[in-house]
A and B are shown apart, each in its own frame.
Chain A
Amino acid sequence: MTAITFDKVWKEYGDHVVLERINLDIAPRSFVALVGPSGCGKTTFLRMLLGEETATRGQILVDGVPLKAEPDSDRGVVFQRYSVFPHLTVLQNVMIGREFEKSALLGKLFGAQRRTAIEEASKLLYEVGLAGHETKYPASLSGGMQQRLALAQALNRRPKILLLDEPFGALDPGIRADIHVLIRRIWNQNNLTVVMVTHDLSEAFRLGTRVIAFERPRNRPEELERYGATLGGDLPVPPVMPKTQAGPQPGATITQDFEVWPRKIAADLNGASAAPDAPPDLSLPKDSEKALH
């Protein structure tokens, strides 16, 4: 159960306001999908959540505690690429999280501990559909397999928050659909809060329990530098158009915010079991998609 709170967060690079006044409460067990035009600060948002970047103003709280200023094992991550270690085999890539955890000096396990770690890793690999590829190196895996490996690697450390930055952007649609099923199952079976950046609206609505759009309210080129993306509008189901904000609105921020499956989260929170691979209800996404444009 991990709640994330953004409390009036600003991010600036020098004069360049990237994100401004982000106020956001992410409920435990949410699957948040972040969408927005290229360059509006989605990756920056994720990097702040990761601890790789610090907010210029405001603060980020995880379960009410300010976020540690460096990446840590409570937040797992899958990037678009370069997420796995090229010099380790598939099995070693998944095991290494456990080895970091259990062996401070050598980062390597031996004997019974090693056998346990191999067992755990093999199970995860089976779950993501990579059984039989244990001894291969990542370079000889396809893009989709590498991303599934990266997921298994991140999950092996049992993070409370999983951050995904366009993890499936480079995959072809067929493989993407498979991975969507996988990530839904992972999210259902683990006690995870997921934040995923994507360029694909239908992916956002298919997977997310909540879809958040980032946008810069001002788009004239000469103003782009001065005003960052901002987070605006709060669209409960059924979606209504975002409230128009009075006055100039510098910086990118949240412009749309959809609760896609509010009942589903509530059901999970009450301990009711959700069907692992329940087909996503697409009727709502269709409406919401229209509302976004």
Chain B
Amino acid sequence: MRAINMKPNFGWHVVLACLPFIALAAAYAISSDARLTANPNDKLLPALGTIVEALRLHAIVPDARTGIYLLWSDTAASLFRLLSALAISAAIALVFGIVTGLLPLARSTLGPFISVASMVPPLALLPILFIVMGLGEASKITLIVVGTTLKLIRDLAQRVEEIPREQLIKAQTLGASTWQIALRVVTPQTLPRLLDALRLEIGPAWLFLIAAEAIAADSGLGYRIFLVRRYLSMDVIIPYVLWITLLAFLMDYALRLIQRKAFPWFAGARSA
């Protein structure tokens, strides 16, 4: 049988999907073991037990000095920054994406500007943001907003332009004004596509968050990773990285779920 025709059944699908994860874990365990046998004080690849102990100290034992649970307070701080920034980005992108996608006059005015502005590397703006807005929450949130909004606007404007011309004509023959078309025809069709675009921006958003936290913060997942780096605490860094990965994955999953539940028509319309 040709390889392109060999399809796994569900059981095999699960087994195959787990394979890379198991392989990575096994490779880690073997290398860690080898290094620790050679040098019991090696910090680079800590044993599973060491990692679990570090996780326990951060997650379920309050910090000796401040009395807070570090993992949870770091998570809360990071998620607050990330989610508020993404909410702001989404709101701005929705408005500007629809306006530039729908109105030729706005497209002429803003289109070239957005194209140029979206080429500015956001991390290069970070020092400016710190200088102008200080080292508080505002500058970190702004960095994420700046880094994600322009691409979201461009993406959404494109999605709006892709709405078949026939629909806009049809709406006009039904007597709709520009405002009514934006409200009843374009916005509802743009929202599920906004969720798609947001999913693609989760990765960059974490990148900007961790960068900002690494440079100036007193809490946050990125802050903790870069803090313990000084002591080569791989036993803390590794579970934090895994935790961030899990959070990003869950956000992606949640967006997909919202899209399916809130816009039941979308899957059918997309494949049509």
Contacts and interface: CB of A to CB of B under 8 A. Distances in A.
Interface in B139-181: 164, 166-167, 169-177, 179-180
A99 B184 contact: yes
B272 A139 contact: yes
Given A107-B180, A139-B265, A86 B272 contact: yes
A75 B173 contact: yes
A153 interface: yes
A184 interface: no
Contacts of A71: 169, 172-173
Given A107-B180, A107-B184, A87 B173 contact: no
Contacts of B175: 72-73, 97, 100-101, 157
A83 B175 CA distance: 15
A126 to B, nearest CB: 20
Interface string B239-271: 000000000000000000000000111101101
- Residue of B173, B176, B269 most packed against chain A (CB within 10 A): B173
Nearest to B271: A139
B263 A87 contact: yes
Nearest to A150: B170
B265 to A, nearest CB: 4
Contacts of A108: 184
B167 A82 contact: yes
Given A87-B263, A87-B269, A50 B180 contact: no
A70 B167 CA distance: 14
Interface string A71-109: 111011101011111111000000011011100111110
Contacts of A138: 269
B189 interface: yes
Nearest to B268: A139
B170 to A, nearest CB: 6
A52 interface: yes
Nearest to A137: B265
Contacts of A77: 169-170, 173
A203 B142 CA distance: 62
A101 B172 CA distance: 11
Contacts of A156: 174
Contacts of B19: none
Nearest to B188: A87
B227 interface: no
Q: What's the dominant secondary structure at chain B's contact region? A: helix
B268 A140 contact: yes
A154 interface: yes
A144 interface: no
A169 interface: no
A80 to B, nearest CB: 9
Nearest to A139: B268
A261 to B, nearest CB: 27
Contact of B180 (A81, A84, A104, A140): A104
A137 B264 contact: yes
A77 B174 CA distance: 9
A129 interface: no
A88 B184 CA distance: 9
A58 interface: no
Nearest to B175: A73
Contacts of A107: 176, 179-180, 183-184
Nearest to A74: B173
Nearest to B176: A100
A159 interface: yes
A50 B269 contact: no
B185 interface: yes
A73 B174 contact: yes
Contacts of A104: 177, 179-180
A81 B269 CA distance: 13
Interface in A101-141: 101, 104-108, 137-140
A3 B263 CA distance: 43
Contacts of B271: 139
- Residue of A96, A106, A157 most packed against chain B (CB within 10 A): A96
A83 B184 contact: no
A282 to B, nearest CB: 32
Given A99-B184, A137-B269, A87 B169 contact: no
- Which 3 pairs between the two chains have the least Cβ-Cβ distance? A139-B268, A73-B175, A86-B269
Given A100-B171, A157-B174, 9 more contacts: A72-B173, A72-B175, A104-B179, A105-B179, A108-B184, A137-B268, A137-B269, A138-B269, A157-B173
